[in-house]
Amino acid sequence: MSTDIANKLPIGWYLKEADSLITHFTNTTFETYGINRFHWQVLKNIDKHEKISKALYYHQVNRFLSEAELEDVLDSLCNRNWVQHEGDMYSFTETGKTAYADIAALQDGNHQKILSGTTPEEYLATINFLETIIRNMGGKI
């Protein structure tokens, strides 16, 4: 093992520290909208797919949120009239589309700040590296 690697902390520390800092940074930025990172992720998924199923979406995020926490996020978005639901499906209201556009612009700024000093190639290499680790440990992407 090279001296450079031997002098570093374990990879898990960097993963948890980065995730913790991203969550804090994102939540702080979104405070003016009264939302957090998990609200943003739901909104982004609705934008990407037009509608999301709570049951199917929960399978994507169950390592990060309990079912009750996801329900709270969805309820809060419905209570704001940003999201509507019919059965298990959630989609934007007109108010939600407008709010999403504003929040997406804010998130673009977050993304630029977080990735400042990196290249798209470094970002992709990091994602590929993490995907390999996940697959090596039996995880699914």
Q: Which amino acid appears at position 2 of this protein?
A: S
* 13-42 confidence digits (pLDDT tens): 999 999 999 999 999 999 999 999 999 999
Q: Is residue 19 part of a domain?
A: yes
Asked if the structure places residue 9 within a domain, the reply is yes
Report yes or no on 55 lying in a domain. Answer: yes
Domain harbouring 60, CATH code: 1.10.10.10
Could you tell me which residues come within 8 angstroms of residue 49 by beta carbon, excluding any fewer than 6 positions away? none
Structure-token match 């996940």, residue found = 134
Indicate whether 24 belongs to any domain: yes
Please give the model's pTM, rounded to 2 decimal places. 0.85
The answer as to whether 102 is a domain residue is: yes
Quickly list DSSP for 109-130: HHHHHHTTT--HHHHHHHHHHH
The two three-digit tokens of residue 46, written as one number: 């609705």
Assigned domain for 12 exists:
yes
Which structural domain range is residue 31 located in? Answer: 3-136
Residues 58-100 have pLDDT tens digits of: 999 998 899 999 999 999 999 999 999 999 999 999 999 999 9
Domain total in the chain = 1
Is 141 inside any structural domain? no
